[in-house]
């Protein structure tokens, strides 16, 4: 599904953020990626959607494409198979909720009729059908994150990658987002989520990959958080 073999990422400034990581994540898994700040979590997950390119090793995506070999102009096509959600939502401020979600389908050339049907379907799934005409600035943080999740899954990707998706949200809202991610996972989507949220990790148990200093130091079926931050 997603596979890394002896992957290293060295940034141009000589920082080595990932040091020879090998890992396999199968279809349908829910995986937390945890570790101290600066340990390499973001870099590790950015390698999975080719936001960063590995310096050496092998990164295979869901379609068994070798991400070190694909050309930059092929990256947008790859992104159809992988949805991404960020801590700060990254919604387009001048587009409505509907337009933010529809845009992800427009850029890959889907038909207007298919777009309308599918956008309403995912907005219903995230509970925001009544907010289609609203702009992001008019929404609460939790609602904005739900829009960003709708956008990430609208093209039915096999994998949803989330970089600290609850990082800007209060505890109740964070749990709502987690329940939504779990529902998406139960429908068959693989979820890889970097997080600092000990309470969530220790309560809603899933596979846990702990990274320290660019290395995987633990990989456990239902692991606990175990860091002090
Ligand atoms: P985490 O997500 O665990 O905080 P990161 O993957 O963001 O860790 O960072 C790992 C290391 O790589 C850190 O030392 C960080 O400063 C460095 N780093 C991250 N991104 C870049 C970049 N674009 N250029 C140079 N160094 C970077
Ligand atoms: P939360 O407690 O989740 O942060 P808020 O108190 O921010 O929620 O928002 C509660 C409701 O008010 C939400 O339905 C949101 O859409 C609406 N809302 C929040 N801010 C604005 C705004 N600036 N304009 C219009 N509606 C807003």
81 — pLDDT class (breaks 50, 70, 90): confident
Q: What is the pLDDT of residue 62?
A: 82
- Tell me: the pLDDT tens digits for 161-194? 999 999 999 999 999 999 999 999 999 999 999 9
- Tell me: the pLDDT tens digits for 205-218? 999 999 999 999 99
- Tell me: the pLDDT tens digits for 128-169? 999 999 999 999 999 999 999 999 999 999 999 999 999 999
72 — pLDDT class (breaks 50, 70, 90): confident
SS3 80: helix
Ligand 1, atom 16: closest residue by C-alpha: 38
How far, in Å, is the centroid of ligand 1 from the Cα of 41? 8
**ipTM of the prediction greater than 0.85, yes or no:** no
Atom of ligand 1 nearest to the CA of 42: 2
Q: Are strands 207-212 and 30-34 parallel, antiparallel or unpaired?
A: parallel
Widest distance between CA atoms in the chain: 50
200 Cβ below 6 A of ligand 1: no
Cα 71 versus chain centre, distance? 22
pTM of the model: 0.88
Q: Ligand 1, residues 8, 12, 14, 15: which to mutate, most atoms within 8 A of Cβ?
A: 15
43 Cβ below 6 A of ligand 1: yes
- Of 152, 108, 7, the C-alpha closest to 66 is 7
Atom of ligand 1 nearest to the CA of 43: 6
Domains of the chain, by residue range, sit at: 2-220
Q: Ligand 2, residues 139, 176, 177: which to mutate, most atoms within 8 A of Cβ?
A: 139
User: Out of 51-65, 112-126, 134-148, which region has the weakest mean confidence (pLDDT)?
Assistant: 51-65
Locate the DSSP E strands across 61-183: 82-86, 159-163
Q: Mean pLDDT across the chain, nearest whole number?
A: 95
Residue 70 has pLDDT above 90, yes or no: no
Q: Which residues contact 215 (CB under 8 A, 6 or more apart)?
A: 19, 20, 21
- Would you report the helix, strand and coil content of the chain in percent, each value rounded to 5? 35, 25, 40
CATH code of 2-220, in short, is 3.40.50.300
Structure tokens at 123: 């907005």
């Amino acid at each position: 599904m997603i596979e890394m073999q002896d992957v290293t990422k060295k940034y141009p400034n000589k920082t080595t953020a990932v040091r020879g990581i090998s890992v396999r994540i199968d279809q349908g898994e829910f995986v937390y990626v945890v570790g101290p700040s600066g340990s390499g979590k973001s870099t590790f997950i950015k390698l999975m959607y080719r936001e960063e390119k590995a310096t050496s090793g092998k990164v295979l995506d869901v379609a068994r494409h070798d991400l070190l070999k694909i050309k930059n102009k092929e990256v947008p096509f790859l992104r159809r198979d992988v949805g991404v959600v960020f801590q700060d939502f990254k919604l387009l401020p001048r587009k409505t909720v509907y337009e933010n979600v529809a845009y992800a389908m427009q850029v890959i050339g889907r038909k207007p009729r298919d777009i309308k049907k599918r956008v309403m379907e995912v907005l219903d799934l995230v509970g925001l059908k009544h907010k289609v005409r609203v702009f992001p600035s008019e929404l609460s943080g939790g609602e904005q994150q739900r829009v960003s999740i709708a956008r990430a899954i609208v093209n039915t990707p096999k994998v949803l990658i989330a970089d600290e998706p609850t990082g800007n949200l209060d505890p109740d809202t964070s749990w709502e987002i987690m329940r939504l991610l779990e529902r998406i996972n139960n429908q068959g989507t693989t979820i890889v989520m970097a997080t600092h949220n000990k309470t969530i990790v220790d309560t809603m148990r899933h596979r846990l990959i702990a990274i320290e200093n660019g290395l995987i130091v633990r990989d456990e079926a239902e692991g606990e958080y175990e860091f002090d931050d």
